[in-house]
Every structure is written in structure tokens, then in C-alpha cells.
């Protein structure tokens, strides 16, 4: 339910106060994962992207940190083996983010690991060199991000974590503040930004004090604390609240700033990341630093398995994530966490009671109930009038609806129709 009357509601009146349910992992230190038994690296890591080209074949021996796939277009990033081992297959596999099977490199790790030597000869970089390094290390393609941007540029580092259950970003914030700030400085230099704003949503006073002390010494970086009101972590809303135009700003998620630090200082390619494995069906929820390509079933085993058989597995958070049906899913650069719930969604859709809650809570000022009705009645002309193209798919309307109407389903159909 909406909690009206909190002082922060003047800050941004739409959105919703959501029970974040982060208690199970919010105070748990990030733990390293065990060496995976198998590594699966899909050559398409996200929906609607161009697959990478494999640089290895079955029988190839690979070292930890060795590049194993190259982008055919600049929109993708090079991919690295997170283990020393042998490629046993390059084969099609089913992944939840693609309707078609995706070509995947399968590597069997050896027991001992051989780390590639780290060359630390160069410590000073020009902006071009930094952007090139971050691209070659598979962290971020800043040249792509800078298309359509102009000076003066503000780098916004998004450290809000408002999806229920997930805590990997908050743990990085708490455990790696110095690395985070150095990573932000590298990114500021790389994109030649005038300033950086770190946006967080934590209510932890200890973190705020520590960060405040660290940031005090950094002239270019300032801190903004948003109330934990969903979906204020969406880039469109962050820019709106900060009053920074899109063409003068670049938004980077907080973990990428930490991984940028590792890439520049340790020359470590992006081959490990922190994910949250949690939910009431998990016996021992954890934030785990995991090798990319590790299978989800191995991470569940490292969390001591299930307390009850999960009825629903969500890749990402419950509001923006995707329901999946299998533990045979590899961790990718874009994984943030997995939530295991005991029951399938017990809420059945009923009729709209015209309460108006979806309209009150929509952060984009839309009329979700009317967009749904327009889709149901195939009144495509009305979609334009209702501004359906401005939906950011935050899921707030579905969350708040007492009739459990799946707005997202209709909003996606509206978007498809508008694209046509
Ligand atoms: S209509 Fe779109 S933007 Fe508005 S609450 Fe629903 S999902 Fe979010
Ligand atoms: S769609 Fe749901 S939230 Fe919107 S007016 Fe109807 S019952 Fe209320």
C-alpha cells in the first residue's frame, strides 16, 4: 500500500514504498565462490544484441583472463575465460533471454588456476587510452555511451538498489568505497566529465558517514541520497530529479565503477561479478562474487540448497526481473541476482475496481488502466493520446493494483504496436 504523508513524498510524489525484503543478505559480506565445475559463456548475453564470435574451439586450452570471444560490432564487449581449463564444446544452448538457442562456449576448469601475469607498466592515461582500456577489459564501451552527448557532461553513478531482495550493489558500496571512488575518478577522466554525482538510496547512517568523509576529499564527486521509493532508481527519473538533461549526462551503474577500478589498477578483465542469491526458498541467502559463466545450480548448492522447493525463480528483482523455469542458467556480465520464492504468484487477476492507484503511482504520469483497456479493445489510436510510448516498464502499476491486473503484459503489447 502507498504510505502517504512521509516527508520524502514531496521529493517525488509518484512511485511506491515497497517492502524491500533485503534483510536476509543486506549485512552479509560478499563471499568468494568456489571454482565452478563448469563454465558456460553464451555468445549473446542479453536480448536483441549481436552475438560475439568465438575465438576458441573444442579442445582449446584457455588461461584465466584469456579472451575467448570477440564482438563483431562495437555495441558488444569482448568476453574472457574466468578459469584455466579446456574448451569442451561450442554449442547451442537454451537461455532465458533469447527465444532461439544461443551459441555457448563450454569450459571445464582444471583444479589449479594459472593467472595471467599483470603488467603494471603504465599508470597515467589519456581519456582515449582509458576508454580503450575499459573496452578491451570488457567492462564498458564508453565511446558508444557518449554518442549524442555534449559538454558540460555529468557522470551519474547509480547506486540505488530498489528492487526487493537484491543487495549486491549495497554490499559493494559498503565493502569497496575506496575502489568505487577511484573507479568513478577513472570514469570521469575517461569521458572528460565536468563532475560526477553518486546517487544512493541507503538508510544506513554508517555508510553515509564513511562515504561523506571519503567524498569530502574528492572535488569532482558529490553525493545524493534518494529515499528508497520505487522506481526512483530508473535513469529517466534520476535525471529528472537531479535536473540534468539527457544529452549532458551519462549514467553508469555503481558495480561498473568498482569493476572499472579493477580493470585499470589490476588490469583484470571483467570475468567476475557480485550477485545476490536469495528469497524465502533459499536456505542460506548470500552475496557471492562469482565467475561469469558459473551455472545457477552451483550457486544454489553453495547457498546450502532450498528450504522448500521453489515455486517461482526470478532472474533479477521481482519488479523488473524475468521468471525462469530452470537452474541451468549461466551467470553473465548482466546478472544481478536470483530470487527464489516458495509459491507461484498466488494473485489471480480480477476486474478493475477503478481505484485509480495505478494512475496515482505512475512515475511517468501515465494512465496505466486506460492503456490496458485500449490494448484489450484494440483501440490502437488511443495509445498515442495516452502517451504509452513514455512507459519505462517499472512495474509500479502492476505492483500497486489490488485487482492484480498484469499491466506490464498490456504495456509491452502497446509498445510493440507503437513500434510497428
Ligand atoms: S505505466 Fe509504465 S511507467 Fe507507469 S507505472 Fe506502469 S510500468 Fe511504470
Ligand atoms: S487497474 Fe488496478 S490500480 Fe488501476 S484503477 Fe484498476 S484496480 Fe485500480
Convert the chain into a string of H (helix), E (strand) and C (coil).
CCCCCCHHHHCCCCCECCCCCCHHHHCCCCEECCCCCCEEEECCCCCCCCCCEECCCCCCEECECCEEEECCCCCCCCEECCCCEEEEEEEEECCCCCCCCEEEEEEEECCCCCECCCCCCCCCCCHHHHHHHHHHCCCCCHHHHCCCCCCCCEEEEEECCCCCCCCHHHHHHHHCHHHHHHHHHHHHHHHCCCEEEEEECCCCHHHHHHHHHHHHCCCCEEEEECCCCECCCCHHHHHHHHCCCHHHEEEEEHHHHHHHHHHHHCCCCCCEEEEEEECCCECCCEEEEEECCEEHHHHHHHCCCECCCCCEEEECCCCCCEEECCCCCECCCCCCEEEEECCCCCCCCCCCCCCCHHHHHCCCCCCHHHHHHHHHCCCHHHHHHCCHHHCCCCCHHHHHCCCCCCHHHHHHHHHHHHHC
Whole-model pTM? 0.88
pLDDT at residue 4 above 80? no
- Ligand number nearest to the C-alpha of 320: 1
At 8 the pLDDT is 39
What is the mean pLDDT of the segment spanning 129-135?
Answer: 96
Phi and psi angles of residue 221, each rounded to the nearest 5 degrees, phi first: -110, 135
Once rounded to an integer, what is the mean pLDDT over residues 94-122?
A: 81
* Ligand 1 mutation pick, 13, 16, 366, 387, max ligand atoms within 8 A of CB: 366
Distance 312 CA to ligand 1 centre (A): 23
Task: Pick the most confident of 44-48, 49-53, 294-298.
Answer: 294-298
**pLDDT value for 122:** 66
Residues 239-251 pLDDT 10s:
999 999 999 999 9
Percent of the chain with pLDDT over 70: 93
For the chain, what are the domain ranges? 31-109+269-341, 139-265, 357-419
The stretch 88-109 carries a mean pLDDT of 96
pLDDT score at 347: 62
Do residues 66 and 116 make contact, with C-beta atoms less than 8 angstroms apart?
A: yes
121 C-beta closer than 6 A to ligand 2: no
The pLDDT tens digits of the residues spanning 50-62 come to 999 999 999 999 9
Distance 391 CA to ligand 1 centre (A): 5
Provide the angle, in degrees to the nearest 10, between the axes of the packed helices 254-265 and 127-136.
Answer: 100
**Ligand 2 lined by 403 (C-beta under 6 Å):** yes
Residues 372, 278: Cα–Cα separation, whole Å: 32
What is the mean predicted confidence (pLDDT) over 258-284? 95
Average pLDDT over residues 86-97: 96
Pairwise CA distance, residues 46 & 49, whole Å: 6
Lowest mean pLDDT among 28-32, 106-110, 119-123: 119-123
Q: Is 368 in the pocket of ligand 1 (CB under 6 A)?
A: yes
Task: For residue 58, give the C-alpha cell.
Answer: 573444442
Tell me the fold of 139-265.
Rossmann fold (3.40.50)
**Residue 115 reports pLDDT greater than 70:** no
Check residue 18 and give its pLDDT.
Answer: 84
CB 398 within 8 A of CB 408: yes
pLDDT in tens, 349-370: 788 999 999 999 999 999 999 9
- Rounded CA gap, 268 and 273, in Å? 12
Q: Pairing between strand 39-42 and 102-109?
A: antiparallel
Indicate the range of 57-61, 191-195, 392-396 predicted with least confidence: 392-396
Q: What is the mean pLDDT of the chain?
A: 90
Q: What is the CATH number of domain 31-109+269-341?
A: 3.10.20.600
> Are the folds of 31-109+269-341 and 139-265 the same?
no
Across 114-131, average pLDDT: 75
Alpha carbon distance 328, 326 (integer Å): 5
First-to-last C-alpha distance (Å) of the chain: 36
2 lines ligand 2 (CB under 6 A): no
Closest CA to 270 of 129, 127, 141, 79: 79
Judged by its nearest atom, the ligand closest to the C-alpha of residue 396 is: 1
Confidence band of 401 (pLDDT split at 50, 70, 90): very high
Which-ligand-closest: CA of 355? 2
Of 14-23, 183-192, 242-251, least confident by mean pLDDT is: 14-23
Amino acid at each position: 500500500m502507498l504510505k502517504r504523508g512521509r516527508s520524502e513524498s514531496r521529493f517525488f510524489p509518484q512511485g511506491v514504498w515497497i517492502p524491500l525484503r533485503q534483510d536476509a543478505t543486506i549485512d552479509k559480506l560478499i563471499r568468494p565462490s568456489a571454482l565452478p565445475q563448469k563454465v558456460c559463456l553464451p555468445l549473446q548475453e542479453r536480448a536483441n544484441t549481436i552475438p560475439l564470435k568465438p575465438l576458441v574451439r573444442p579442445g582449446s586450452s584457455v588461461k584465466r583472463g584469456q579472451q575467448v570471444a570477440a564482438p563483431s560490432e562495437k555495441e558488444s564487449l569482448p568476453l574472457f575465460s574466468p578459469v584455466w581449463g579446456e574448451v569442451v564444446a561450442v554449442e547451442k544452448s537454451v537461455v532465458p533471454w533469447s527465444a532461439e538457442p544461443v551459441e555457448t562456449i563450454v569450459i571445464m576448469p582444471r583444479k589449479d588456476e594459472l593467472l595471467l601475469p599483470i603488467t603494471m607498466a603504465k599508470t597515467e592515461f589519456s581519456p582515449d587510452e582509458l576508454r580503450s582500456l575499459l573496452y578491451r577489459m570488457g567492462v564498458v564501451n564508453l565511446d558508444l555511451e557518449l554518442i549524442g552527448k555534449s559538454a558540460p557532461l555529468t557522470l551519474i553513478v547509480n547506486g540505488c538498489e530498489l528492487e526487493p531482495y537484491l543487495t549486491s550493489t549495497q554490499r559493494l558500496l559498503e565493502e569497496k568505497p575506496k575502489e568505487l571512488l577511484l573507479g568513478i575518478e577513472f570514469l570521469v577522466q575517461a569521458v572528460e566529465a565536468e563532475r560526477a554525482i553518486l546517487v544512493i538510496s541507503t538508510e544506513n547512517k554508517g555508510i553515509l558517514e564513511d562515504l561523506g568523509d571519503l567524498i569530502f576529499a574528492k572535488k569532482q564527486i558529490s553525493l545524493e541520497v534518494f529515499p528508497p521509493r520505487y522506481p526512483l532508481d530508473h535513469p529517466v527519473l534520476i535525471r529528472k530529479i537531479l535536473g540534468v538533461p539527457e544529452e549532458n549526462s551519462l549514467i553508469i551503474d555503481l558495480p561498473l565503477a568498482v569493476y572499472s577500478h579493477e580493470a585499470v589498477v589490476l588490469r583484470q578483465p571483467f570475468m567476475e561479478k557480485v550477485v545476490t542469491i536469495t528469497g524465502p526458498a533459499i536456505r542460506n541467502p548470500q552475496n557471492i562474487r562469482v565467475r561469469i559463466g558459473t551455472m545457477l545450480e552451483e550457486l544454489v548448492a553453495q547457498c546450502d540448497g532450498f528450504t522448500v522447493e521453489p515455486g517461482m525463480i526470478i532472474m533479477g528483482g521481482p519488479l523488473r526481473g524475468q521468471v525462469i523455469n530452470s537452474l541451468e542458467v549461466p551467470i553473465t556480465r548482466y546478472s544481478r541476482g536470483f530470487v527464489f520464492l516458495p509459491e507461484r504468484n498466488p494473485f489471480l487477476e480480477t476486474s478493475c475496481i477503478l481505484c485509480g492507484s495505478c494512475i496515482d503511482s505512475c512515475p511517468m504520469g501515465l494512465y496505466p488502466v486506460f492503456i490496458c483497456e485500449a490494448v484489450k479493445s484494440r483501440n490502437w489510436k488511443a495509445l498515442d493520446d495516452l502517451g504509452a510510448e513514455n512507459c519505462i516498464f517499472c512495474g509500479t502499476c502492476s505492483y500497486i493494483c489490488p485487482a492484480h491486473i498484469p499491466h506490464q503484459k498490456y504495456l509491452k503489447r502497446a509498445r510493440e504496436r507503437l513500434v510497428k
